[in-house]
Amino acid sequence: MTQSSFSSLLFADTQLPEQVAAVMAAIETDIIRSRILPRTRLIEDHLMEDYAAKRHVVRAALAELQRLGVVVKPPHLGAQLRRFDRQGLEDLYHMRRVLHHAAIEMIEFPVPPERLAAVEAACQAHAQAAASGELIAIHRTNMAFHRELYGLCDNPYLAESIRLHDWLSFPVRAYGVADAQALEQACDEHQAMVQAVRAGNRAALDALSVAHMGRARSLYEEKFLSR
């Protein structure tokens, strides 16, 4: 999958320049690989050297990641990867549960065959990415699966809120991408979600939606909040 197709996959409302999308993907990959940790300063000169990119490209990538909530700029400290404390993490995941529950309540069953097929295709794309081991593809196809699944609510404002909270939680969820056990569990849960949609089982889908958030959050808590 090319960087331009990644850009169109995740940024349907904004077609990012290919060079900006490439730097964003490189930063995301380094977050997933734990090369960039929460509160790590993102210094333009270093990023330019690491990613062989011009300053305006790096700035544009950081600005987009800041818009999505992945990067923050505390006063006098410069850009850095967002870090959550325990209360912030609880607040974020409470909001994600509220949004997902609302979307699932709005899905009309049975889901039309062509829309079910789109969810199934997104699930399969993520499974293929997981098998490939390509970290950025795993992350992006996971986001795409969530977009197709929760998009079944047919409320564009709710679906967009879920997409934005997926990005807000990326500094947390990133640690599940490179963890083999967490990734296997995510693939299994995606399949179970598809089966619940196919069966029109709202209660099962709602329970899976909540459980699906748990593994990556636990990894984050173990790394950064257990000390």
Residue 188 confidence (pLDDT) = 98
pLDDT, position 77: 84
**Is the per-residue pLDDT at 5 higher than 60?**
no
Task: Please provide the DSSP assignment of 112-126 as one string.
Answer: PHHHHHHHHHHHHHH
Q: Examine the pLDDT at 2 and tell me if it is beyond 70.
A: no
Q: Where are the alpha helices (DSSP H) in 107-227?
A: 113-132, 135-150, 156-168, 170-177, 180-199, 202-211, 214-224
Report pLDDT for 75: 87
176-218 confidence digits (pLDDT tens): 999 999 999 999 999 999 999 999 999 999 999 999 999 999 9
Query: Pairing relation of β-strands 71-72 and 80-81?
Result: antiparallel
Q: Which fold has domain 86-224?
A: Four Helix Bundle (Hemerythrin (Met), subunit A) (1.20.120)
Per-residue confidence (pLDDT) for residue 8, from 0 to 100: 40
- Alpha-carbon gap, residue 219 to 227, rounded angstroms: 13
Q: What is the mean pLDDT of residues 94-114?
A: 98
45-61: pLDDT as tens digits: 999 999 999 999 999 99
- Is residue 11 over pLDDT 50? no
Residues 7 and 21: beta-carbon distance below 8 Å = yes
Is the peptide bond preceding residue 38 cis, with omega within 30 degrees of 0? no
* Residue pLDDT, tens place only, 29-46: 999 999 999 999 999 999
Rounded to 10 degrees, the C-alpha dihedral 114/116/119/125 comes to: -70
Please list, in sequence order, all residues whose beta carbon lies within 8 angstroms of the beta carbon of residue 139, skipping any fewer than 6 positions away: 28, 32, 170, 174, 177
36 contact partners, CB below 8 Å, separation of at least 6: 27, 30, 42, 81
Residue 122: pLDDT above 50?
Answer: yes
Nearest-angstrom CA–CA distance, 32 and 30: 5
Cross-strand pairs, 72: 80
pLDDT at residue 14, rounded to an integer: 58
Domain with CATH 1.20.120.530 in the chain: 86-224
**Domain span(s) for CATH 1.10.10.10 in the chain:** 3-81
List 71's β-bridge partners, or say none. Answer: 81
- pLDDT for 13: 43
Fold of 3-81: Arc Repressor Mutant, subunit A (1.10.10)
- pTM, two decimals, is 0.88
Cβ–Cβ < 8 Å for 68, 169: no
Average pLDDT value for the chain: 93
Q: Per residue in 124-167, pLDDT tens?
A: 999 999 999 999 999 999 999 999 999 999 999 999 999 999 99
Contact between 109 and 98 (Cβ < 8 Å): no
Hey, which residues does 80 pair with through a beta bridge? 41, 72
